[in-house]
Amino acid sequence: MASEGRRPLVAGNWKMNGLRSSVPIVEAIRDGLSPALTDKIDVLICPPATLISSCVAAVYGSPVAIGGQNLHARPSGAFTGSISAEMFADLGATYVIVGHSERRAYHYETDDGVHAKALGARRAGLRGIICVGETMEERQQGRALDIVRAQLAIGLPKGATGEDTVIAYEPVWAIGSGRTPTAKEIAEVHASLREMLDKLVGEEAHKIRILYGGSVKPANARELMAVENVDGALVGGASLVAEDFLGICRAYEG
């Protein structure tokens, strides 16, 4: 339940999926959003870097935004295979995901590295979506709140604002598993993150959106988006099917 004037954001993360033949998915999402809905929410698709330019062209003149999935903290240099925030911005992207759990797990990204990347996103004028989340083991140990608060405390740049920063809570154990935390569990984490934001950035905390991610589907979107302090969703697999992603967006209708 987005409040305090925060505008909900529904963001799709395609991960390592999609070829040029996938661009019509973005076009279908663009065409399926009613003006009444885009008056209420922001919509974002984060395709692979290879498709950024094509997707930016596909949504030109529409309310749909395009973002990157990862970035190098530096603006340029001898970093073979890496992509800077400036490169994404040059292609027309306006957001970038930072510190997704898959980056942390498979590419050994640290909280300090997430902090540096979030600063890089800000430097280039992109909105950084900083991801936090606990593993099942950490939750079973009763450490979920401690883990996400620590990730936020280190990863969030000083002076973060609602204009340049979004937080996404994605319990690692729920991503792609079909398992979803209860509304009570989500509310507890989001409330704790909001409290931590207040300590870190003061009044600006009320302007920073906190998304929920982890097996969000059309069937559960309305319930999840109604949870206190949930300001939208970071959607994985369902964002690769236009009607499923639109179904999640439509949780905000009415």
To the question of whether residue 236 is assigned a binding role by annotation, the answer is: yes
To the question of whether residue 215 is assigned a binding role by annotation, the answer is: yes
Secondary structure of residue 211 in the 3-state scheme = strand
Q: What is the pLDDT of residues 207-223, one digit of tens each?
A: 999 999 999 999 999 99
- Decide: 88 and 65 in contact? Cβ < 8 Å: no
pLDDT class of 62 with cuts at 50, 70, 90: very high
pLDDT class of 175 with cuts at 50, 70, 90: confident
pLDDT more than 90, % of the chain = 94
To the question of whether residue 101 is assigned a binding role by annotation, the answer is: no
Is a pLDDT exceeding 90 seen at residue 39?
Answer: yes
- Can you give the pTM of this predicted structure? 0.96
To the question of whether residue 13 is assigned a binding role by annotation, the answer is: yes
Is a pLDDT exceeding 80 seen at residue 3?
Answer: no
CA-based R_g, the chain, Å:
17
To the question of whether residue 184 is assigned a binding role by annotation, the answer is: no
Mind listing the domains of the chain with CATH numbers? 9-252 (3.20.20.70)
Strand ranges for the chain from DSSP E: 9-13, 42-46, 64-68, 95-98, 127-132, 165-169, 209-213, 232-235
pLDDT class of 176 with cuts at 50, 70, 90: confident
- Decide: 231 and 44 in contact? Cβ < 8 Å: no
To the question of whether residue 176 is assigned a binding role by annotation, the answer is: yes
Annotated active-site residue in 100, 102, 109, 115: 100
Annotated active-site residue in 109, 134, 138, 170: 170
For residue 100, indicate whether it is catalytic.
yes
Query: Quick one: angle between helices 111-123 and 144-155, nearest 10?
Result: 40
Q: What is the pLDDT of residues 224-244, one digit of tens each?
A: 999 999 999 999 999 999 999
Secondary structure of residue 175 in the 3-state scheme = coil
Q: DSSP assignment of 125-166, as one string? A: TPEEEEEE---HHHHHTT-HHHHHHHHHHHHSPTT--TTTEE
The mean pLDDT of 10-29, rounded to a whole number, is 98
Is a pLDDT exceeding 60 seen at residue 2?
Answer: no
